Amino acid sequence: MKNMMSGFIPTEFNNMKLEKLIKVVAPLLLMALYLAACETAADTDISPVIASVGNSSVTLDEAIEQIPDIILAQDSLAAITNFKEQWIKSQLKIQEADRIQIWNTPEFQKRMERQRVQLMENVLTEYILAEHSEQLEVTRDEAQNYFQAHKDKFVLDERYVRFRHVTTSTRTEAENARRDLMRGVSWNDVVNTYSLQSELKLRESSQFWPISVAAADIPMLNRYLNVIGLSEISPIYQFRGQFHFVQLMEERNEGDHPDFDWLIPQIEDWLRLEKSQRITKAFIRNLYLKAESNNEIKQMSATEISDYLKNLESDTP
C-alpha cells in the first residue's frame, strides 16, 4: 500500500506545480522573444526602396552592397541608377519566367541537370584539394627556384611604371597637395592629408603597372604618364567632379626582366595550380583503376566506334 501511494500525486498538486513553472518560465520566454525582436529590428534594412516590381523590391543599402566599390567611387549616382535599371529588367524576366513556369520545360530541366553534374564535379575537386591543403602550400624558396629556372621566360612585354595618384574634392586641395610634394613633404603625409581613398592610393603607389592600364580609368592621366619624366608631377585634371594629378616615380622598359618580388604572387599561383592538377589527376586515376578492377566500366573500343561511324555514313543517302 505504501509503494502504491508513493506513485500517486494528486491533481491539485500537479496544477500548483504547473502554475509555479509558468511563473518562472514566462518571464524568461518573454525576455528571449524581446531580445530576438531587438536583434531582428537591428538587422532590418530601413533605407529607402529605390525600385519594386510586383512583390519584389530593392533598397538603397542593398544596391550599394552589391555594386563594386571601384565603380561606386567613380560616380555613385550613375552606378546606383544603372544598378536600379538592370535590377528592374532582371526582375521582369524572372517574374515572367515564374509566371509561365519555365522550370517545367524540357530545356530548363536539361540545363539544370548539366549544372547539377558540373557542380558535383567542382565541389568534389574542392573537397579533394581541401583534404590535401598542406600539399598545396608554396614556399618562397620554391617560387625563387622556379624563377631562376625560367628567368629567360619572364620578360616585360611593355613599359611598366610606378606612380602616385592624388584625388581630391577641390582644386585648392589638389594644388596644396601638389605644392607639398614639390616642397619635399612625405608621400604618406600628403596622401593622408589631401587625397580621397588614401589607403588605396598608398597601396597602388607601391606597385608597378603596365603603361596600357596605368590610371586608364582616367585617360588624360594615362597620357600624362606617357610623357612626364621621373619624379615629375602632372598638371591637375578635373574629372567627374574630382581633381587629380599623378607623379611618375619609377619605370621599367619593354624587354627588361621584372623584379622577382613582382612575380611572387603569380609564380605561387602557377605552382599551386600545378600541384592542384597533380593531386586531382592522381585521385581520378585511382578512382578509374578501382572501378576498372571491379568491372564497373563498360565502354566501346575505338575499333567499334569507327565501325559504327562507317555504318552511319554508308546508311546516309
Helices 198-205 and 187-194, packing angle to 10 deg: 150
Residue with cell 580621397: 196
Alpha carbon separation from 315 to 30, 302, 307, 309 (Å, rounded): 80, 20, 12, 10
* Residue 2, pLDDT score: 36
Of the listed ranges 94-108, 145-159, 194-208, 211-225, the least confidently predicted one is: 145-159
Which residue in the block uniquely carries the three cell numbers 599561383?
A: 269
Classify residue 296: in a domain, yes or no: no
Residues 164 and 229 in one domain: yes
Residue 40, pLDDT above cutoff 60: no
Q: For residue 83, is it within any domain?
A: yes
Same domain, 161 and 247: yes
Rounded mean pLDDT of the chain?
84
Per-residue pLDDT reduced to its tens digit, 177-215: 999 999 999 999 999 999 999 999 999 998 888 899 899
Which run of H or E residues covers position 245? strand 242-252
Which DSSP symbol is given to 113? H
> What's the number of domains the chain is made of?
2
CATH number at residue 177: 3.10.50.40
Last residue of a domain, one of 234, 252, 270: 252
In a domain, 35, yes or no: no
Res 30 pLDDT > 60: no
Provide the domain limits for residue 189: 156-252
Final residue belonging to a domain, choices 58, 79, 100: 100
- Say which residue, 220 or 263, is predicted with more confidence: 220
User: Last residue of a domain, which of 236, 252, 268?
Assistant: 252
Please report the pLDDT score of residue 6 as a whole number: 35
The whole-model pTM stands at 0.51
